[in-house]
Amino acid sequence: MADFKKSVVYQIYPKSFNDSNGDGLGDLRGVIEKLDYIKELGVDYIWMTPFFVSPQKDNGYDVEDYYNIDPRYGTMEDVEELSREAEKRGIRLMFDMVFNHTSDRNQWFQKALAGDPKYKDFYIFKKGPKPGVPPTNWESKFGGNAWEYVEKFDEYYLHLFDVSQPDLNWDNPEVRKEVQNVIKFWMGKGIKGFRFDVVNLISKDKFENDYEGDGRRFYTDGPNIHKYLRELNEATFGTDAEIITVGEMSSTTMENCYQYANEDGKELSMVFSFHHLKVDFMGNEKWVIVPFDFQKLKKILFDWQVNMGKHHAWNAVFWCNHDQPRVVSRFGNVEKYWKESAKMLGTVIHCLRGTPYIYQGEELGMTNAGFADISQYKDVESLNHFRILQEKGLTEENAYQILQIHSRDNSRTPMQWNSGENGGFTTGEPWIEVNKNCSYINAEAELQDEDSIFHYYQKLIALRKEYDVIAYGEVKPLDEKNPSVFAYEREYQGEKMLVICNFYGKKVTWDSEKELGEYQCVLSNYEVHNIEGSRIWLKPYEAVVLYKK
Protein backbone atom coordinates (compact mmCIF):
# COMPACT_ATOMS: atom_id res chain seq x y z
CA MET A 1 0.00 0.00 0.00
CA ALA A 2 1.19 3.51 -0.76
CA ASP A 3 2.52 4.99 2.46
CA PHE A 4 1.18 8.49 2.09
CA LYS A 5 2.52 9.37 5.56
CA LYS A 6 6.08 9.19 4.24
CA SER A 7 5.20 10.78 0.89
CA VAL A 8 5.48 14.33 -0.38
CA VAL A 9 3.28 15.72 -3.17
CA TYR A 10 4.38 18.32 -5.72
CA GLN A 11 1.59 20.42 -7.19
CA ILE A 12 1.81 21.49 -10.82
CA TYR A 13 -0.39 24.16 -12.36
CA PRO A 14 0.24 23.00 -15.95
CA LYS A 15 -0.64 26.31 -17.58
CA SER A 16 2.28 28.01 -15.81
CA PHE A 17 4.78 25.19 -15.43
CA ASN A 18 6.65 24.68 -18.70
CA ASP A 19 5.69 25.43 -22.30
CA SER A 20 7.09 22.88 -24.76
CA ASN A 21 5.73 24.36 -28.00
CA GLY A 22 6.13 28.13 -27.65
CA ASP A 23 2.43 29.05 -27.61
CA GLY A 24 2.80 30.79 -24.22
CA LEU A 25 0.84 28.15 -22.27
CA GLY A 26 2.40 25.39 -20.22
CA ASP A 27 1.45 21.89 -21.39
CA LEU A 28 1.76 18.18 -20.66
CA ARG A 29 4.89 17.72 -22.77
CA GLY A 30 6.38 20.56 -20.77
CA VAL A 31 5.81 18.52 -17.61
CA ILE A 32 7.43 15.44 -19.22
CA GLU A 33 10.49 17.59 -20.03
CA LYS A 34 10.90 18.51 -16.35
CA LEU A 35 10.39 15.11 -14.71
CA ASP A 36 14.09 14.77 -13.92
CA TYR A 37 13.97 18.07 -12.03
CA ILE A 38 10.99 16.82 -10.00
CA LYS A 39 12.73 13.50 -9.34
CA GLU A 40 15.82 15.38 -8.12
CA LEU A 41 13.67 17.24 -5.61
CA GLY A 42 12.65 13.82 -4.26
CA VAL A 43 8.84 13.92 -4.24
CA ASP A 44 6.56 10.90 -4.65
CA TYR A 45 3.44 12.28 -6.35
CA ILE A 46 2.64 15.01 -8.83
CA TRP A 47 -0.77 16.59 -8.38
CA MET A 48 -1.82 18.34 -11.57
CA THR A 49 -4.61 20.90 -11.64
CA PRO A 50 -7.24 20.14 -14.31
CA PHE A 51 -6.23 19.93 -17.96
CA PHE A 52 -9.49 18.44 -19.23
CA VAL A 53 -11.47 20.07 -22.03
CA SER A 54 -12.67 23.40 -20.63
CA PRO A 55 -13.63 26.91 -21.73
CA GLN A 56 -11.16 28.07 -19.03
CA LYS A 57 -13.51 30.54 -17.36
CA ASP A 58 -12.00 29.36 -14.05
CA ASN A 59 -8.65 28.03 -15.20
CA GLY A 60 -9.89 24.52 -15.96
CA TYR A 61 -12.04 24.12 -12.84
CA ASP A 62 -14.97 24.43 -15.24
CA VAL A 63 -14.87 21.02 -16.91
CA GLU A 64 -16.59 20.55 -20.23
CA ASP A 65 -15.48 16.95 -20.76
CA TYR A 66 -14.01 14.74 -18.00
CA TYR A 67 -12.73 12.13 -20.46
CA ASN A 68 -10.70 14.23 -22.84
CA ILE A 69 -7.61 16.42 -22.72
CA ASP A 70 -7.89 20.07 -23.61
CA PRO A 71 -5.92 20.40 -26.87
CA ARG A 72 -4.11 23.46 -25.49
CA TYR A 73 -2.43 21.09 -22.98
CA GLY A 74 -1.83 18.17 -25.31
CA THR A 75 -3.34 14.78 -26.05
CA MET A 76 -4.32 11.54 -24.36
CA GLU A 77 -1.03 10.08 -25.68
CA ASP A 78 0.82 12.81 -23.77
CA VAL A 79 -0.99 11.85 -20.56
CA GLU A 80 -0.14 8.18 -21.08
CA GLU A 81 3.50 9.02 -21.78
CA LEU A 82 3.65 11.30 -18.74
CA SER A 83 2.29 8.51 -16.57
CA ARG A 84 4.84 6.01 -17.94
CA GLU A 85 7.80 8.39 -17.67
CA ALA A 86 6.83 9.47 -14.14
CA GLU A 87 6.53 5.83 -13.07
CA LYS A 88 10.04 5.10 -14.41
CA ARG A 89 11.25 7.74 -11.95
CA GLY A 90 9.23 6.38 -9.03
CA ILE A 91 6.66 9.19 -9.25
CA ARG A 92 2.90 8.76 -9.39
CA LEU A 93 0.25 11.09 -10.77
CA MET A 94 -2.63 12.61 -8.82
CA PHE A 95 -5.45 14.08 -10.93
CA ASP A 96 -7.70 16.92 -9.89
CA MET A 97 -11.40 16.07 -10.03
CA VAL A 98 -14.02 18.81 -10.05
CA PHE A 99 -17.34 17.22 -9.17
CA ASN A 100 -19.24 19.93 -7.30
CA HIS A 101 -19.98 21.64 -10.62
CA THR A 102 -19.32 21.37 -14.34
CA SER A 103 -18.87 23.94 -17.06
CA ASP A 104 -22.10 25.25 -18.59
CA ARG A 105 -20.65 23.90 -21.85
CA ASN A 106 -20.63 20.34 -20.51
CA GLN A 107 -22.98 18.18 -22.62
CA TRP A 108 -25.00 17.32 -19.49
CA PHE A 109 -25.81 20.98 -18.91
CA GLN A 110 -26.40 21.63 -22.60
CA LYS A 111 -28.96 18.79 -22.60
CA ALA A 112 -30.50 20.24 -19.42
CA LEU A 113 -30.90 23.64 -21.11
CA ALA A 114 -32.46 21.91 -24.12
CA GLY A 115 -35.15 20.67 -21.73
CA ASP A 116 -34.13 17.00 -21.38
CA PRO A 117 -35.69 16.09 -17.98
CA LYS A 118 -33.03 13.43 -17.24
CA TYR A 119 -30.20 15.95 -17.50
CA LYS A 120 -32.11 18.82 -15.98
CA ASP A 121 -32.13 16.69 -12.83
CA PHE A 122 -28.31 16.51 -13.03
CA TYR A 123 -28.30 20.13 -11.83
CA ILE A 124 -30.14 22.22 -9.25
CA PHE A 125 -32.99 24.19 -10.83
CA LYS A 126 -35.48 26.03 -8.61
CA LYS A 127 -38.33 28.50 -8.96
CA GLY A 128 -38.00 31.90 -7.29
CA PRO A 129 -40.54 32.92 -4.59
CA LYS A 130 -41.82 35.66 -6.90
CA PRO A 131 -40.91 37.08 -10.32
CA GLY A 132 -37.38 38.49 -10.46
CA VAL A 133 -36.40 37.09 -7.04
CA PRO A 134 -33.89 34.20 -6.87
CA PRO A 135 -34.75 31.10 -4.79
CA THR A 136 -32.40 32.18 -1.98
CA ASN A 137 -30.05 35.05 -1.12
CA TRP A 138 -26.93 32.86 -1.23
CA GLU A 139 -23.78 34.51 -2.52
CA SER A 140 -21.50 33.07 -5.16
CA LYS A 141 -17.92 32.62 -3.96
CA PHE A 142 -16.86 34.80 -6.88
CA GLY A 143 -19.24 37.63 -5.91
CA GLY A 144 -22.93 38.30 -6.72
CA ASN A 145 -25.95 36.04 -6.27
CA ALA A 146 -25.46 32.28 -6.62
CA TRP A 147 -28.53 31.76 -8.82
CA GLU A 148 -28.84 32.39 -12.56
CA TYR A 149 -32.22 32.85 -14.23
CA VAL A 150 -33.19 30.73 -17.25
CA GLU A 151 -36.12 32.36 -19.00
CA LYS A 152 -37.13 29.25 -20.90
CA PHE A 153 -37.99 27.41 -17.65
CA ASP A 154 -38.79 30.49 -15.53
CA GLU A 155 -36.36 28.88 -13.10
CA TYR A 156 -32.91 29.53 -11.69
CA TYR A 157 -29.90 27.20 -11.51
CA LEU A 158 -27.44 27.20 -8.62
CA HIS A 159 -23.78 28.14 -9.18
CA LEU A 160 -21.74 28.48 -5.99
CA PHE A 161 -18.86 29.63 -8.19
CA ASP A 162 -18.86 31.42 -11.55
CA VAL A 163 -22.15 31.71 -13.45
CA SER A 164 -20.57 29.38 -16.03
CA GLN A 165 -20.15 26.66 -13.35
CA PRO A 166 -23.57 25.15 -12.54
CA ASP A 167 -23.63 22.92 -9.43
CA LEU A 168 -24.31 19.21 -9.90
CA ASN A 169 -27.22 17.60 -8.06
CA TRP A 170 -25.54 14.85 -6.04
CA ASP A 171 -28.87 13.79 -4.56
CA ASN A 172 -29.53 12.25 -7.97
CA PRO A 173 -28.02 8.70 -7.96
CA GLU A 174 -27.40 8.95 -11.72
CA VAL A 175 -25.04 11.88 -11.13
CA ARG A 176 -23.12 9.84 -8.57
CA LYS A 177 -22.91 6.94 -11.03
CA GLU A 178 -21.48 9.24 -13.74
CA VAL A 179 -18.86 10.58 -11.33
CA GLN A 180 -17.84 7.01 -10.44
CA ASN A 181 -17.45 6.23 -14.13
CA VAL A 182 -15.06 9.15 -14.56
CA ILE A 183 -12.84 7.96 -11.72
CA LYS A 184 -12.86 4.36 -12.97
CA PHE A 185 -11.81 5.59 -16.41
CA TRP A 186 -8.72 7.36 -15.01
CA MET A 187 -7.91 4.47 -12.67
CA GLY A 188 -7.84 2.38 -15.84
CA LYS A 189 -5.12 4.72 -17.14
CA GLY A 190 -2.98 3.95 -14.09
CA ILE A 191 -3.65 7.12 -12.11
CA LYS A 192 -2.80 6.52 -8.44
CA GLY A 193 -4.04 9.69 -6.79
CA PHE A 194 -7.10 11.93 -6.85
CA ARG A 195 -7.63 15.37 -5.40
CA PHE A 196 -11.29 16.33 -5.09
CA ASP A 197 -12.08 20.00 -5.56
CA VAL A 198 -14.38 21.64 -2.92
CA VAL A 199 -15.80 18.18 -2.34
CA ASN A 200 -17.48 19.01 0.99
CA LEU A 201 -19.97 21.24 -0.87
CA ILE A 202 -21.58 18.45 -2.91
CA SER A 203 -24.41 17.69 -0.45
CA LYS A 204 -26.82 20.63 -0.23
CA ASP A 205 -29.12 21.05 2.75
CA LYS A 206 -32.22 23.27 2.89
CA PHE A 207 -32.68 25.90 0.20
CA GLU A 208 -33.48 28.81 2.49
CA ASN A 209 -32.49 32.44 2.77
CA ASP A 210 -29.51 32.95 5.05
CA TYR A 211 -30.12 35.90 7.31
CA GLU A 212 -26.82 35.35 9.11
CA GLY A 213 -24.55 35.32 6.09
CA ASP A 214 -23.90 34.14 2.56
CA GLY A 215 -25.59 30.73 2.57
CA ARG A 216 -22.53 28.59 3.17
CA ARG A 217 -24.04 26.92 6.27
CA PHE A 218 -26.70 25.39 3.98
CA TYR A 219 -24.24 23.70 1.61
CA THR A 220 -21.00 23.09 3.57
CA ASP A 221 -20.47 19.57 5.03
CA GLY A 222 -24.09 18.82 4.08
CA PRO A 223 -26.36 16.06 5.43
CA ASN A 224 -25.33 13.31 2.97
CA ILE A 225 -21.68 14.21 2.48
CA HIS A 226 -20.20 11.24 4.36
CA LYS A 227 -22.63 8.82 2.76
CA TYR A 228 -21.72 10.06 -0.74
CA LEU A 229 -17.97 9.91 -0.10
CA ARG A 230 -18.20 6.38 1.31
CA GLU A 231 -20.22 5.28 -1.68
CA LEU A 232 -17.65 6.83 -4.05
CA ASN A 233 -14.81 5.18 -2.15
CA GLU A 234 -16.43 1.72 -2.23
CA ALA A 235 -17.28 1.94 -5.92
CA THR A 236 -13.94 3.32 -7.14
CA PHE A 237 -10.61 4.23 -5.54
CA GLY A 238 -11.24 2.21 -2.36
CA THR A 239 -10.79 -0.94 -4.46
CA ASP A 240 -7.08 -0.12 -5.00
CA ALA A 241 -4.94 0.15 -1.85
CA GLU A 242 -2.26 2.04 -3.77
CA ILE A 243 -4.45 5.04 -4.56
CA ILE A 244 -4.23 8.10 -2.32
CA THR A 245 -6.94 10.76 -2.17
CA VAL A 246 -7.23 14.26 -0.79
CA GLY A 247 -10.34 16.36 -0.40
CA GLU A 248 -10.28 20.13 -0.62
CA MET A 249 -12.55 21.18 2.24
CA SER A 250 -14.05 24.64 1.94
CA SER A 251 -14.96 26.31 5.30
CA THR A 252 -15.20 22.86 6.87
CA THR A 253 -15.25 21.84 10.53
CA MET A 254 -12.61 19.70 12.18
CA GLU A 255 -15.29 17.28 13.43
CA ASN A 256 -16.28 16.49 9.85
CA CYS A 257 -12.63 16.04 8.89
CA TYR A 258 -12.22 13.35 11.57
CA GLN A 259 -14.55 11.33 9.35
CA TYR A 260 -13.38 12.52 5.92
CA ALA A 261 -9.76 11.56 6.61
CA ASN A 262 -10.09 8.80 9.19
CA GLU A 263 -7.53 6.04 9.02
CA ASP A 264 -10.39 3.52 8.71
CA GLY A 265 -10.01 4.45 5.03
CA LYS A 266 -13.73 4.58 4.30
CA GLU A 267 -13.73 8.10 2.86
CA LEU A 268 -10.47 9.88 1.88
CA SER A 269 -6.77 9.55 2.72
CA MET A 270 -6.43 13.17 3.86
CA VAL A 271 -7.93 16.66 3.75
CA PHE A 272 -6.91 20.17 2.86
CA SER A 273 -8.30 22.74 5.29
CA PHE A 274 -7.73 26.46 4.87
CA HIS A 275 -8.40 28.06 8.24
CA HIS A 276 -4.69 28.76 8.78
CA LEU A 277 -4.61 30.74 5.53
CA LYS A 278 -7.20 33.24 6.72
CA VAL A 279 -4.99 34.75 9.42
CA ASP A 280 -4.36 37.81 7.25
CA PHE A 281 -8.08 38.29 6.55
CA MET A 282 -10.51 40.37 8.55
CA GLY A 283 -13.00 37.74 9.68
CA ASN A 284 -13.88 35.99 6.42
CA GLU A 285 -13.05 39.07 4.34
CA LYS A 286 -10.01 38.46 2.16
CA TRP A 287 -9.84 41.76 0.26
CA VAL A 288 -8.29 43.86 3.02
CA ILE A 289 -4.77 44.70 4.20
CA VAL A 290 -4.09 43.58 7.76
CA PRO A 291 -0.92 42.11 9.29
CA PHE A 292 -1.10 38.35 9.76
CA ASP A 293 -2.03 37.15 13.22
CA PHE A 294 0.83 34.90 14.35
CA GLN A 295 -0.90 33.65 17.52
CA LYS A 296 -3.97 32.71 15.53
CA LEU A 297 -1.83 30.95 12.93
CA LYS A 298 -0.17 28.82 15.61
CA LYS A 299 -3.42 28.09 17.39
CA ILE A 300 -5.17 26.91 14.21
CA LEU A 301 -2.29 24.75 13.01
CA PHE A 302 -1.77 23.21 16.44
CA ASP A 303 -5.50 22.58 16.99
CA TRP A 304 -5.70 20.69 13.71
CA GLN A 305 -2.46 18.83 14.36
CA VAL A 306 -3.36 17.67 17.86
CA ASN A 307 -7.05 16.92 17.33
CA MET A 308 -6.71 15.17 13.97
CA GLY A 309 -4.04 13.05 15.65
CA LYS A 310 -6.29 12.17 18.59
CA HIS A 311 -9.05 11.14 16.18
CA HIS A 312 -6.75 9.08 13.92
CA ALA A 313 -7.32 11.36 10.95
CA TRP A 314 -4.75 12.68 8.49
CA ASN A 315 -3.97 16.22 7.30
CA ALA A 316 -2.49 17.46 4.08
CA VAL A 317 -0.06 20.19 5.24
CA PHE A 318 0.76 23.13 3.01
CA TRP A 319 1.28 26.87 2.64
CA CYS A 320 0.83 27.35 -1.09
CA ASN A 321 -1.35 26.35 -4.01
CA HIS A 322 -2.74 27.88 -7.19
CA ASP A 323 -5.32 29.85 -5.15
CA GLN A 324 -2.98 31.27 -2.49
CA PRO A 325 -0.39 34.04 -2.61
CA ARG A 326 3.27 33.01 -2.33
CA VAL A 327 4.09 32.14 1.26
CA VAL A 328 7.47 33.87 1.43
CA SER A 329 5.74 37.14 0.43
CA ARG A 330 2.92 36.44 2.86
CA PHE A 331 4.59 35.32 6.09
CA GLY A 332 8.29 35.72 5.24
CA ASN A 333 10.55 38.62 4.38
CA VAL A 334 11.47 38.89 0.70
CA GLU A 335 13.48 42.10 1.10
CA LYS A 336 16.06 41.20 3.72
CA TYR A 337 15.71 37.52 4.67
CA TRP A 338 14.28 35.94 1.53
CA LYS A 339 16.31 32.73 1.70
CA GLU A 340 16.18 32.33 5.50
CA SER A 341 12.45 32.97 5.79
CA ALA A 342 11.57 30.68 2.85
CA LYS A 343 13.55 27.84 4.45
CA MET A 344 12.05 28.48 7.88
CA LEU A 345 8.51 28.36 6.49
CA GLY A 346 9.29 25.09 4.71
CA THR A 347 10.60 23.63 7.98
CA VAL A 348 7.42 24.49 9.91
CA ILE A 349 5.22 22.61 7.43
CA HIS A 350 7.41 19.63 6.51
CA CYS A 351 8.06 18.52 10.08
CA LEU A 352 4.36 18.51 11.02
CA ARG A 353 2.10 15.45 11.14
CA GLY A 354 0.56 15.20 7.69
CA THR A 355 1.49 14.80 4.05
CA PRO A 356 3.31 17.92 2.81
CA TYR A 357 2.35 19.54 -0.48
CA ILE A 358 4.83 21.73 -2.34
CA TYR A 359 3.45 24.12 -4.93
CA GLN A 360 5.60 24.66 -8.04
CA GLY A 361 8.21 27.32 -7.38
CA GLU A 362 7.77 27.20 -3.61
CA GLU A 363 10.97 25.12 -3.50
CA LEU A 364 12.72 28.05 -5.22
CA GLY A 365 11.26 30.71 -2.92
CA MET A 366 9.21 32.26 -5.73
CA THR A 367 7.48 35.49 -4.61
CA ASN A 368 4.27 37.40 -5.34
CA ALA A 369 4.01 39.00 -8.76
CA GLY A 370 3.94 42.70 -7.83
CA PHE A 371 1.66 43.56 -10.77
CA ALA A 372 0.81 47.26 -10.83
CA ASP A 373 -1.58 47.41 -13.78
CA ILE A 374 -4.97 45.71 -14.12
CA SER A 375 -4.07 44.56 -17.64
CA GLN A 376 -1.47 42.25 -16.05
CA TYR A 377 -4.12 40.40 -14.00
CA LYS A 378 -5.92 37.41 -15.51
CA ASP A 379 -7.82 35.87 -12.58
CA VAL A 380 -11.62 36.27 -12.70
CA GLU A 381 -11.83 36.73 -8.92
CA SER A 382 -9.18 39.48 -8.93
CA LEU A 383 -10.75 41.34 -11.85
CA ASN A 384 -14.18 41.23 -10.13
CA HIS A 385 -12.78 42.51 -6.84
CA PHE A 386 -10.74 45.28 -8.45
CA ARG A 387 -14.10 46.64 -9.57
CA ILE A 388 -15.96 45.81 -6.34
CA LEU A 389 -13.31 47.46 -4.13
CA GLN A 390 -13.57 50.71 -6.08
CA GLU A 391 -17.36 50.55 -5.99
CA LYS A 392 -16.98 50.34 -2.19
CA GLY A 393 -15.10 53.65 -2.30
CA LEU A 394 -11.46 52.55 -2.29
CA THR A 395 -9.01 54.40 -4.53
CA GLU A 396 -7.48 52.59 -7.48
CA GLU A 397 -4.13 52.68 -5.65
CA ASN A 398 -5.64 50.96 -2.57
CA ALA A 399 -7.31 48.37 -4.78
CA TYR A 400 -3.94 47.57 -6.39
CA GLN A 401 -2.26 47.24 -2.99
CA ILE A 402 -4.87 44.66 -1.96
CA LEU A 403 -4.56 42.72 -5.24
CA GLN A 404 -0.79 42.64 -4.91
CA ILE A 405 -1.20 40.87 -1.57
CA HIS A 406 -4.19 38.61 -2.14
CA SER A 407 -4.65 37.94 -5.88
CA ARG A 408 -4.55 34.31 -6.97
CA ASP A 409 -2.41 35.45 -9.91
CA ASN A 410 0.50 35.74 -7.46
CA SER A 411 0.84 31.97 -7.55
CA ARG A 412 0.06 31.62 -11.24
CA THR A 413 2.97 33.50 -12.76
CA PRO A 414 5.16 31.10 -14.78
CA MET A 415 7.69 28.80 -13.20
CA GLN A 416 11.13 30.41 -13.21
CA TRP A 417 13.53 27.96 -14.85
CA ASN A 418 16.44 30.24 -15.68
CA SER A 419 17.44 33.89 -15.92
CA GLY A 420 16.77 34.05 -19.67
CA GLU A 421 13.82 35.58 -21.48
CA ASN A 422 10.50 34.70 -19.81
CA GLY A 423 12.46 32.80 -17.17
CA GLY A 424 12.87 29.89 -19.58
CA PHE A 425 9.14 29.15 -19.34
CA THR A 426 8.32 29.77 -23.01
CA THR A 427 9.90 30.90 -26.26
CA GLY A 428 6.63 32.66 -27.07
CA GLU A 429 4.49 35.31 -25.39
CA PRO A 430 3.54 33.96 -21.91
CA TRP A 431 -0.19 33.88 -21.08
CA ILE A 432 0.60 35.87 -17.93
CA GLU A 433 3.75 37.87 -17.28
CA VAL A 434 6.78 36.23 -15.72
CA ASN A 435 7.97 37.71 -12.42
CA LYS A 436 10.88 40.09 -13.08
CA ASN A 437 12.93 38.54 -10.29
CA CYS A 438 13.48 35.40 -12.40
CA SER A 439 16.86 37.01 -13.12
CA TYR A 440 18.05 35.69 -9.75
CA ILE A 441 15.22 33.42 -8.45
CA ASN A 442 15.29 30.46 -10.82
CA ALA A 443 15.83 26.69 -10.87
CA GLU A 444 19.10 26.77 -12.81
CA ALA A 445 20.76 29.11 -10.29
CA GLU A 446 19.43 27.19 -7.28
CA LEU A 447 20.48 23.77 -8.53
CA GLN A 448 24.06 25.09 -8.65
CA ASP A 449 23.94 26.70 -5.21
CA GLU A 450 24.42 24.22 -2.34
CA ASP A 451 22.84 26.70 0.08
CA SER A 452 19.72 27.27 -2.06
CA ILE A 453 16.11 26.97 -1.01
CA PHE A 454 15.78 24.10 -3.51
CA HIS A 455 18.49 22.06 -1.77
CA TYR A 456 16.94 22.81 1.60
CA TYR A 457 13.54 21.47 0.42
CA GLN A 458 15.37 18.41 -0.88
CA LYS A 459 16.70 17.85 2.65
CA LEU A 460 13.23 18.34 4.20
CA ILE A 461 11.80 15.66 1.90
CA ALA A 462 14.68 13.28 2.67
CA LEU A 463 14.23 13.87 6.41
CA ARG A 464 10.61 12.62 6.33
CA LYS A 465 11.73 9.43 4.61
CA GLU A 466 14.61 8.91 7.04
CA TYR A 467 12.92 9.62 10.39
CA ASP A 468 9.79 7.69 11.30
CA VAL A 469 9.07 10.26 14.02
CA ILE A 470 8.16 12.82 11.32
CA ALA A 471 5.87 10.47 9.43
CA TYR A 472 4.18 8.75 12.36
CA GLY A 473 4.86 10.71 15.54
CA GLU A 474 2.49 12.65 17.76
CA VAL A 475 2.67 16.45 17.83
CA LYS A 476 3.10 18.38 21.04
CA PRO A 477 2.92 22.19 20.76
CA LEU A 478 5.57 24.04 22.79
CA ASP A 479 5.48 27.55 24.28
CA GLU A 480 2.28 28.33 22.39
CA LYS A 481 1.98 31.95 23.55
CA ASN A 482 5.51 32.91 22.49
CA PRO A 483 5.19 36.07 20.33
CA SER A 484 8.00 35.09 17.92
CA VAL A 485 8.69 31.37 18.03
CA PHE A 486 6.82 28.48 16.41
CA ALA A 487 8.00 25.38 18.26
CA TYR A 488 6.75 21.83 18.64
CA GLU A 489 7.89 18.37 19.59
CA ARG A 490 7.36 15.14 17.69
CA GLU A 491 7.51 11.79 19.47
CA TYR A 492 7.34 8.19 18.22
CA GLN A 493 8.55 4.92 19.77
CA GLY A 494 11.32 6.51 21.82
CA GLU A 495 12.39 8.96 19.09
CA LYS A 496 12.04 12.67 19.81
CA MET A 497 12.32 15.65 17.51
CA LEU A 498 12.20 19.35 18.39
CA VAL A 499 11.33 21.88 15.70
CA ILE A 500 12.11 25.46 16.71
CA CYS A 501 11.42 28.29 14.28
CA ASN A 502 11.83 32.05 14.68
CA PHE A 503 8.99 33.53 12.65
CA TYR A 504 10.43 37.06 12.58
CA GLY A 505 13.39 39.14 11.42
CA LYS A 506 14.76 39.87 14.88
CA LYS A 507 16.96 37.78 17.17
CA VAL A 508 15.19 36.01 20.03
CA THR A 509 16.15 33.74 22.92
CA TRP A 510 14.09 30.63 23.48
CA ASP A 511 14.09 28.54 26.63
CA SER A 512 13.19 24.89 26.46
CA GLU A 513 12.13 22.68 29.33
CA LYS A 514 14.62 20.16 27.94
CA GLU A 515 18.39 19.88 27.98
CA LEU A 516 19.08 20.73 24.31
CA GLY A 517 22.66 19.44 24.44
CA GLU A 518 21.30 15.87 24.39
CA TYR A 519 19.88 16.47 20.89
CA GLN A 520 21.68 16.40 17.56
CA CYS A 521 20.87 19.07 14.96
CA VAL A 522 19.66 17.29 11.81
CA LEU A 523 18.68 20.39 9.84
CA SER A 524 18.89 24.16 10.03
CA ASN A 525 18.86 27.16 7.72
CA TYR A 526 21.97 28.60 9.42
CA GLU A 527 25.46 27.05 9.64
CA VAL A 528 26.13 27.85 13.29
CA HIS A 529 23.77 27.55 16.28
CA ASN A 530 24.01 29.14 19.63
CA ILE A 531 22.72 26.55 22.09
CA GLU A 532 23.62 26.39 25.78
CA GLY A 533 21.90 24.08 28.24
CA SER A 534 18.17 24.47 27.65
CA ARG A 535 18.48 27.85 25.92
CA ILE A 536 18.84 28.65 22.23
CA TRP A 537 19.62 32.03 20.70
CA LEU A 538 17.75 32.23 17.41
CA LYS A 539 18.88 34.41 14.53
CA PRO A 540 16.30 36.14 12.27
CA TYR A 541 13.99 33.49 10.73
CA GLU A 542 16.21 30.71 12.09
CA ALA A 543 14.84 27.16 11.94
CA VAL A 544 16.43 24.32 13.90
CA VAL A 545 15.43 20.66 13.84
CA LEU A 546 16.86 18.67 16.78
CA TYR A 547 16.69 14.89 17.15
CA LYS A 548 17.34 12.32 19.82
CA LYS A 549 16.72 8.60 19.97
Burial of residue 541, with CB atoms counted within 10 A of its CB: 0-12 exposed, 13-18 middle, 19 or more buried: buried
Buried residues in 192-210 as b, exposed as e (16+ CB within 10 A):
bbbbbbbbbbbbbeeeeeb
* Catalytic residue set: 197, 248
DSSP bridge pairs for 448: none
d(CA 44, CA 92): 6
d(CA 523, CA 544): 6
Residue 407: strand, helix, or coil: coil
d(CA 264, CA 248): 19
Buried residues in 519-532 as b, exposed as e (16+ CB within 10 A):
beeebbbbeebebe
Query: Any idea of the CA torsion for 446, 451, 456, 458, to the nearest 10 degrees?
Result: 60
d(CA 349, CA 532): 26
Task: For 472-540, give the DSSP string.
Answer: H-EEEEESTT-SSEEEEEEEETTEEEEEEEE-SSS-EEEE-SS-GGGSEEEEESSS--EEETTEEEEPT
310 Cβ contact list (under 8 Å, min separation 6): none
d(CA 252, CA 250): 5
CB-CB contact of 138 with 218 (8 Å): yes
